Amino acid sequence: MSKQDLLNLSIEELQEFCILNNLPKFRATQIWRWMYCFGLNKFNDMTNIAKGTRDALSEIAYISRLDISEIQKSSDGTIKWLLKLSDGSEVETVFIPQEDRGTVCLSSQVGCTLNCTFCHTGTQALVRNLTSNEIIGQLMLVMDHLKDWPSGKNDRKVTNIVMMGMGEPLLNYNEVSKAIKVMMSDDGISLSRRRITLSTSGIIPKIREAGEELGVNLAISLHAVNDQLRDQLVPINKKYNLKALIEACRNYPPLSNSRRITWEYVMLKGVNDSQEDALGLINLIKGIPSKVNLIPFNPWPGSLFETSTKKNIDVFASILMDAGYASPIRTPRGKDIYAACGQLKSSSEKIRKSNLNKLTPIYSI
Ligand code: SAH
Ligand code: SF4
């Protein structure tokens, strides 16, 4: 029988695992605390468990850690890990230190099926869902690296999580939600739902479920204010159009004035950055507690867009601000190591490099 990776279990599943293996249920809470409060991955270090039980556990279970292919550090302190998964595919994880917070950007899939035309991840040929242990494993790895154990300290380094790495989290909802529940567990990493953000290109059927079940913050990758343009930039819009998306956001269960929707808007020169676009945006989100994140387009080798000029971005932001919307312009982080939004793309593509040209979306402006 193959050993069970405990990082792949919810607390309820860990309790069942203990009972099935003739261990009392409370052992599950003990093990959980060692794993997620103290970051241990060896049963032998779990000192309140008898030696015989620790040995027995080692026979039937393990606590995984992801393999690192490469670590890159940016001059601005951002760190990017390229991680090798057990099947050889690779994903990226990013840590972004800021004055008042430390954010980990997690991947939810190897590649992405949605092919947004400005996004590097969307050009990756190989795509699969990550499992919950691979998602939570990314966070464990960052916390190990930063020596951020025990979790929940006042000066913790990882304070925020964004599901903004590779992949569309709502197309892998089961595994993503399982991992997020582990992150939020009071007996473990204990990150508040207010500090976790799910970013989606608009998988409408899962938006409400995520709000009800997880109650985390929601970020919507909007990028265009009419269907004609959004169909081209974010092709999933052909299936879930703007009207339906806005309706789903208006009804997002945790939504309130203190829990606003973040609209992500990548600034593409001459494509979506006019004053009419800014006014269209205000009209679209009217009545929804909102903030807008303006993201200067981060180019990648071979990308077909240009970043809007600083002047255009400033004018766009000031129109939003005049209408009462907080609209920070997001400074790209880790630019020198291609760790900024939309630049993540692991080397898994090499596996099918010959197919790449066929799959790379073409968009000319
Ligand atoms: N799939 C999810 C989350 C990952 S992408 C989503 O689309 O929301 C995270 C954010 O980066 C999204 O807002 C995405 O639109 C944006 N992004 C993608 N490529 C980009 C690029 N080249 N420059 C700037 N932002 C980009
Ligand atoms: Fe996928 Fe998000 Fe990139 Fe679109 S922007 S291709 S949904 S990762």
User: Can you give the pLDDT at residue 334?
Assistant: 77
Looking at the predicted structure, is the pLDDT value of residue 362 above 60?
no
Q: Which pair of structure tokens corresponds to residue 194?
A: 């207010």
Model confidence pLDDT, tens digit, residues 193-242: 999 999 999 999 999 999 999 999 999 999 999 999 999 999 999 999 99
Q: Which residue has a Cα nearest atom 13 of ligand 1?
A: 221
- All structural domains of the chain with their residue ranges: 4-62, 67-356
Q: Into which CATH architecture does domain 4-62 fall?
A: Orthogonal Bundle (1.10)
**Residues whose beta carbon lies within 6 Å of some atom of ligand 1:** 112, 116, 118-119, 164, 168, 199-201, 221, 264, 266, 295, 297-298, 341-343
Mutating to test ligand 1, I would choose from 172, 198, 264, 304 the residue with most ligand atoms within 8 A of its C-beta, which is 264
The model's confidence at residue 36, banded by pLDDT at 50, 70 and 90, is very high
Model confidence pLDDT, tens digit, residues 57-80: 999 999 999 999 999 999 999 999
Q: Which pair of structure tokens corresponds to residue 216?
A: 């985390």
The model's confidence at residue 342, banded by pLDDT at 50, 70 and 90, is low
Model confidence pLDDT, tens digit, residues 102-118: 999 999 999 999 999 99
For ligand 1, the distance from its centroid to the CA atom of residue 205, given in whole angstroms, is 20
> CA-CA distance, 204 to 201, in Å (whole number)?
9
**Local structure of 211: helix, strand or coil:** helix
Q: Which ligand is nearest to the CA of 106?
A: 1
CB 347 within 8 A of CB 82: yes
Mutating to test ligand 1, I would choose from 164, 265, 292, 345 the residue with most ligand atoms within 8 A of its C-beta, which is 164
Mean pLDDT, all residues of the chain = 91
Q: Is the CB of 219 under 6 A from ligand 2?
A: no
Q: Hey, what CATH topology would domain 67-356 get?
A: TIM Barrel (3.20.20)
Looking at the predicted structure, is the pLDDT value of residue 351 above 70?
no
The model's confidence at residue 300, banded by pLDDT at 50, 70 and 90, is confident
pTM: 0.93
Residues recognised as catalytic = 92, 341
Q: Which pair of structure tokens corresponds to residue 289?
A: 């507690």
Name the burial class of residue 57, with classes exposed (0-12), middle (13-18) and buried (19+) by CB atoms within 10 angstroms of its CB: buried
Q: State what percent of residues in the chain have pLDDT above 70.
A: 93
The model's confidence at residue 180, banded by pLDDT at 50, 70 and 90, is very high
